[in-house]
Amino acid sequence: MERQAKRISAWGQNVYVKVPVTNTKRISSVELVKRLARSGVKLNVTALLTLDQVREVASALADGPPACISVFAGRVADTGRDPLPLMATAMDVIRDHDNIELIWASPRELLNIFQADSIGCHIITATNDILRKLSLIGKDLAEYSLDTVKMFHDDACNAKYHL
């Protein structure tokens, strides 16, 4: 990873090299992150899901070149945990590190954009499915309810099932 990261970083000043928080053998990448940051490589450390990982990576990136910490909040939510407290604490962890930005990765719903904004998260990734829902912001809920009932009705008619 180190050799590849240095090669990729040479592609341009605006390149951030994506490095996973661990390798596939469960070996932490924190020491690698520290060496790369010290050598001036801009990093996007990815696949973080715990606050311990955020703290370790933030420490490794501290006072280095611009970097991102990518916390997969959507995957946290997939486990039945609310990602908002974790992400808010992650923002607190990096608050004093001007070189580090937090990414809210793998959001699952439009609400996550508002949650990320509410804690001052720097970046949120968004799929096309989420972006298509932007037109729903502020939609009248009674009207949305009617739209939903109409959708159910259309689905039933299209099924051509009769009782």
Set out the domains of the chain in order of their start, with CATH numbers: 2-136 (3.20.20.70)
CB 61 within 8 A of CB 45: yes
Handedness of CA 55, 56, 59, 62 (dihedral sign): negative
pLDDT score of 4 more than 90: yes
Arithmetic mean of pLDDT over the chain: 97
Residues facing 69 on adjacent strands: 45, 102
The predicted pLDDT at position 114 comes to 97
pLDDT score of 161 more than 90: no
The tens digit of pLDDT for each residue in 126-137 reads 999 999 999 999
pTM for the full predicted model: 0.92
The tens digit of pLDDT for each residue in 67-81 reads 999 999 999 999 999
163 pLDDT band, cuts 50/70/90, is: confident
What gap in Å lies between CA 117 and CA 119, rounded to an integer?
Answer: 5
110 pLDDT band, cuts 50/70/90, is: very high
Mean pLDDT over residues 78-105, rounded?
Answer: 98
The tens digit of pLDDT for each residue in 37-61 reads 999 999 999 999 999 999 999 999 9
Report which of 92, 46, 89, 91 is spatially closest to residue 71, judged by C-alpha positions. 46
Mean pLDDT over residues 98-126, rounded?
Answer: 97
Mean pLDDT over residues 100-128, rounded?
Answer: 97
Residues facing 70 on adjacent strands: 103
The predicted pLDDT at position 111 comes to 96
The predicted pLDDT at position 162 comes to 78
Kindly state the tokens that stand for 37.
């940051």
